[in-house]
Structure 1
Amino acid sequence: MFKRFCGAADALDMLLSRSHPLQRAEMLHTLLAEGRVLSQDIISPLALPGFDRAAMDGFAVRSEDTRGARPHAPVFLERFQAVRTGMPVPGQYDAVVMLEDCKLRGGILEITAQLHPFKNVSRIGEDVAAGEKVFSQGHTLRPPDLSLLSALGIENVEVYDRPNVAIIPTGGELLDIGSRPLGPGEAYEINSLMARLYAQKWGASAHKTEIVPDDQRLIREAVAANEKADLIIIIGGTSVGEKDYVPRILSEMGELLVHGVRLQPGKPTAIGVVAGKPVVCLPGYPVAMLFDLYLFVRPALQRIGHRSDPQPKVRAALTRKIPSRPGYLSLV
Structure 2
Amino acid sequence: MTAGQRLTGSLIPLDEALTALLDGLEPVAPRELPIAETLGSVSAGVSLLGPIPVNDFAVTDGWALCARDLVGASSYSPFPLTGPPVWIEAGDRMPNGSDCVVDSALVELSGSMFQVLGEALPGQGVRRAGSDIGEGGLTIAAGRRLRALDLMLARATGLGKLALRRPRLRLINIPAVAGHTVTAQLIAESARTAGADVICSQANGRDASSVAKALTGERCDLIVTVGGTGVGHTDATVEALTRNGRLIAHGVALQPGRTTALCTIDDTPVIALAGAPDQALAAWWTLVLPVLDRLSGHLQRTKTLPLARKISSGVGIADIALLRESEGAWMPLAIGDLSLAHIVRADAWLAVPGSSEGFAAGTPVDAHMLRG
TM-score (normalizing by structure 1): 0.75
| Pairwise CA distance, 1:277 | 0.9
Structure 2 residue 200 is the aligned partner of structure 1 residue 207: yes
Match of 1:166 among 167, 170, 176: 170
Give identity over the alignment, percent: 27
Report matched runs for 1:256-275 at 5 Å: 256-275=247-266
Q: Are residues 1:57 and 2:57 paired? A: no
2:73·2:79 contact (CA, 8 Å) conserved in 1? no
Whole-angstrom distance in 1 between the partners of 2:228 and 2:180: 14
Alignment of 1:164-203 (within 5 A): 164-170=168-174, 174=176, 186-190=177-181, 191-203=183-195
Aligned to 2:224: 233
Deviations 1:276-331 (A, max 9, x none): 1111111233321233223322332232233335368898868xx99854443034
1:286 to 1:32, Cα distance in 2 relative to 1, 3 A: closer
From the superposition, tell whether residues 142 and 322 of structure 1 become closer, same or farther in structure 2 (CA, over 3 Å).
Answer: closer
Q: 1:312 and 1:238, CA in 2 relative to 1: closer, same or farther beyond 3 A?
A: farther
Structure 2: distance between partners of 1:239 and 1:35: 34
Residue 251 (structure 1) shift = 5.3
Cα distance 1:159–1:119, how it changes in 2: closer, same or farther (>3 A)?
same
Inter-CA distance 313–210: structure 2 relative to 1 (3 Å threshold)? farther
Residue 285 and residue 229 in structure 1: after superposition, are their counterparts in 2 closer, same or farther (change >3 A)?
same
TM-score (norm 2): 0.68
Contact 1:227-1:277 at 8 Å conserved across structures: no
Task: Confirm whether residue 125 of structure 1 aligns to residue 137 of structure 2.
Answer: no
Counterpart-to-counterpart distance in 1, 2:163 and 2:95: 38
Q: Matches of 1:261 and 1:47 in 2, distance apart?
A: 53
Deviations 1:11-44 (A, max 9, x none): 334333354321162x433333333344453343
For 2:288, the equivalent position in structure 1 comes to: 297
Q: Structure 2 CA distance, aligned partners of 1:77 and 1:309?
A: 62
Following TM superposition, by how much is the alpha carbon of 1:53 offset from its aligned partner in structure 2, in angstroms?
Answer: 1.6
Any residues of structure 2 matched to 1:1-332 within 5 Å, and which?
A: 1-2=6-7, 5-17=11-23, 19-23=25-29, 25=31, 27-44=32-49, 47-68=51-72, 75-79=78-82, 80-99=85-104, 102-106=106-110, 107-115=113-121, 117-129=122-134, 132-160=137-165, 162-170=166-174, 174=176, 186-190=177-181, 191-204=183-196, 205-215=198-208, 217-223=209-215, 225-226=216-217, 228-240=219-231, 245-247=236-238, 250=241, 253-308=244-299, 310=301, 325-328=314-317, 329=319, 330-331=335-336, 332=338
Judged with a 3 Å threshold, the aligned counterparts in structure 2 of structure 1 residues 314 and 322 are, in CA distance, closer, same or farther, namely closer
After superposition, the CA RMSD in angstroms is: 3.5
Tell me the alpha carbon deviations over residues 179-231 of structure 1, each in whole angstroms, 9 at most, x when there is no partner: xxxxxxx411423333223222322222123244333x4443433x1472211
Q: Offset at 1:248?
A: 5.6
Matched residue type, 2:268: K
Counterpart-to-counterpart distance in 2, 1:300 and 1:153: 34
CA distance in 2, matches of 1:129, 1:324: 52
The unaligned stretches of length 5 or more in structure 2 are 1-5, 320-334, 339-372
* Structure-1 separation of matches of 2:80 and 2:139: 41
Once residues 207 and 313 of structure 1 are traced to their aligned partners in structure 2, the CA distance between those partners, rounded to angstroms, is 36
Once the two structures are TM-superposed, the CA of residue 62 in structure 1 deviates from its matched residue by 2.3
Task: Name the counterpart of 2:361.
Answer: none
Taking the aligned partners of 1:269 and 1:143, their CA distance within structure 2 comes to 36
Q: Which has the higher contact order (CA 8 A, sep 6+)?
A: 1
Distance change >3 Å, CA 145–CA 259, structure 1 → 2:
same
Q: Give 1:6 deviation, angstroms.
A: 3.6
After superposing the two structures, state which structure 1 stretch, 226-235 or 245-254, moved more. 245-254
Cα 1:93/1:322, change in 2 over 3 Å: closer
Distance 1:88 1:163 in 2: 43
Unaligned runs of 5+ residues in structure 1 are: 175-185
From the two aligned structures, give the one with the greater strand fraction.
2
Change (3 A) 1:282 1:312: farther
8 Å contact 2:46–2:163 — kept in the other structure? no
Report if aligned partners of 1:169, 1:211 keep a CA contact under 8 Å in 2: no
Q: Classify the secondary structure of the residue corresponding to 1:188.
A: coil
